[in-house]
Every structure is written in structure tokens, then in C-alpha cells.
Amino acid sequence: MKKRPLVVVTRRLPGVVETRMRELFDTRLNLDDKPMAQGELVEAVKSADVLVPTVTDEIDASVLAQAGPNLKLIANFGNGVDNIDVQVALSRGITVTNTPGVLTEDTADMTMALILAVARRMVEGARVIPEDEWAGWSPTWMLGHRITGKRLGILGMGRIGTALARRAKAFGLSIHYHNRRRAPGTVEDELEATYWESLDQMLARMDIVSVNTPHTPATYHLLSARRLKLLKPEAIVVNTARGEIIDETALARLIESGSIAGAGLDVFEHEPAVNPRLLKLARQGKVVLLPHIASATHEGRVDMGEKVIVNIKTFMDGHRPPDRVLPSML
């Protein structure tokens, strides 16, 4: 009987995914669903043939330096791989895969929801009735802003940025974008999208800015204090990508001073910790904060798990996994 690979899973996954993994591999599950400490991650890489981490697991050079000789694949349960030192992994002969594409629609849905929530003050409104503070309708109370006719600047026109643009266009928003590479003409024509080579120039003209770019060394604090100051006072910022892309302290300071109207954030720079200034602004109704749930659908998580399984099985069968990650892709 052929020996099955030892697969170590760092967090609890949907039951149907865990069951299938147990059927196919010698799978070690995390039944407590608590994030592994670095020492536990080191023990995992020492013994595993395959490691299945998530975005909350920091698989850096210090962890990889202690990997055992059997570790040949890191099959990340997630699209982003900024939690893994891909270069070091490859230098040690360890293949890295991810789960691209399956969370596109879910994340675009939540990004659109955050745009609406901030512009129309939905979270503030949702609190009023349960707290028995509603005195009835008034023509000047709880006024938000119409989004139809506004300009949306998308930072990162990949799968999610494009899916957001399609939704936003249906809401009557004018689509603008900045990306490393210009989108095909067919996409621009479909979305009636305006490309900006200069991020600074785009930011200064937008009513809404949505962050949809991966976190890499090049995008760390891409929305820096200097760039955030370019925004119009009535502009809002939405981020469903990675918290590290925005200088959170600068964002909070500019919202406090009225230099930016508000923000909708699903991700944070030091998760699960949230900047206290952002928490205070949330209590004041100036920002909407969500606990990293843009991709949190049952369907999406199962799809992610199925991609992980395909990557592991393909690799173990001696073939190139479909979602291999290379440094040139980052």
C-alpha cells in the first residue's frame, strides 16, 4: 500500500473539506481552531510532508529554516501569500500554492457593501432602533451621500477590482483605476473605465477609493500619509485587501480632522488588534469596521478547500500543481 503524505492543517476548515482530506491523506487537523504559535508551526514543518497554513500563520525564514526534509509543499488556504516567505521556501525546494479566483465575487460583494454602508451611514442607522433612539422620520436627519454619479478609484484592477468595477458601474459610479499594468481595451470599454498611470493624480480626483491590490513589499503603506492628504475632504476610503497597504494612523488622523470624510475597513494593519483611534471613530459613526469577513461565505471556504486538495493531490501525483506561486507573480 502506497504511503499517504502527512498533511498538517493549521486551522479548522469546513467539515466537508476536512473529511475529504482525511480520506485522501494522512491529515492532522487543528480541532481547537486556535492559531498555532511559532513553536507549533516549527514542529509542524519539521514533521509534515505538506503544510496547509492560512493568512494568520507567519511562515517566515526562521520557521522555514527548521523545516524537515519531508516538507515539499506549502498549500496555502488563501489567495494572498504575504504570510509566506516564498523565496526562501523555493530556495529550500518547497513548492508554494494558493487558492486564487474563488473569493473574487464574495470580496467584491463586501467591498460594494462597505461603499454603501459608509456613504449611506447604514451602521449608524442600524444602531438607532435597537438602542431605542429613533424619534421618527425627519427630512434632515441621518443624511448620507448618493453614490450614483460619483467617481470610484480602484487601486488594483485584478480579478476582485474588475468584479467590483462591474458592480459599481451598475450603481452608476464612474470607474477609474490604477494598476501595474493597464487592463485590456475590451475590459476598459465594457466598464467605461479610465486608467491612471499616476496614482497621485487619480487619488486627488476621486470621491471613493477602494484598495484591491495584494500586499507585497512594494505596496506596504502605498496609501501613505502623503498620498492620503491628496484626497478630497468628501472622499471615503474602503479596504478589503490587506491592512498594511494603508497607513492606518495617518488615515485616522485625517478623518479626525475632517480632511477625509470616512472609511470602511475589513482588514487592519496589526490584526486582530485594531487601532484605538479607528475604534473611537467607529463609535462616532465616521468609519465602518468589519472583522475580516469579506471572503467569509460557506461556498467560498469550501471552494478554497477544494483548491487546496487539488493542489496537494496533483503535486503528490508527480505533476505541477495548478496554483503554484512563483516570486515573479508577487
In the set 124, 271, 277, 324, the catalytic residue is 271
pLDDT score for 27: 97
In the block, cell 492543517 appears at 9
Q: What Rg value do the Cα atoms of the chain yield, rounded?
A: 22
Residues 309, 313: Cα–Cα separation, whole Å: 6
Specify whether the CB–CB gap between 89 and 68 falls below 8 A: no
Residue 172's region, left for phi above 0, alpha for psi from -120 to 50, else beta, is left
As a whole number, the mean pLDDT across the chain is 96
Joined grid coordinates for residue 306:
477544494
Q: Which amino acid is at 309?
A: I
Q: Which amino acid is at 312?
A: I
133 among known catalytic residues:
no
pLDDT beyond 70 at 1: no
pLDDT beyond 60 at 126: yes
In the set 242, 244, 269, 301, the catalytic residue is 242
Specify whether the CB–CB gap between 281 and 288 falls below 8 A: no
92 among known catalytic residues:
no
Q: What angle do CA 17, 95, 34 make, to 5 degrees?
A: 45
Pick the CATH number of 6-101+298-329 from 3.40.50.1000, 3.30.70.920, 3.40.50.300, 3.40.50.720: 3.40.50.720
pLDDT score for 80: 84
pLDDT score for 33: 86
Mean pLDDT confidence for 161-188: 97
What digits encode the pLDDT tens for the residues 71-123? Answer: 999 999 998 898 999 999 999 999 999 999 999 999 999 999 999 999 999 99
Handedness of CA 10, 11, 16, 17 (dihedral sign): negative
In the set 151, 166, 167, 292, the catalytic residue is 292
242 among known catalytic residues:
yes
Q: What are phi and psi of 195, to 5 degrees?
A: -90, 135
Q: How far is CA 121 from the centre of its chain?
A: 23
CATH architecture of 104-289: 3-Layer(aba) Sandwich (3.40)
pTM: 0.90
* H or E element that contains 125: helix 122-128
Three-state SS for 192? coil
pLDDT score for 10: 97
Residues 53, 77: Cα–Cα separation, whole Å: 6
Location of each CATH 3.40.50.720 domain in the chain = 6-101+298-329, 104-289
- Tell me 312's DSSP state: H
- Tell me 285's DSSP state: T
Residue 231 banded pLDDT, cuts 50, 70, 90: very high
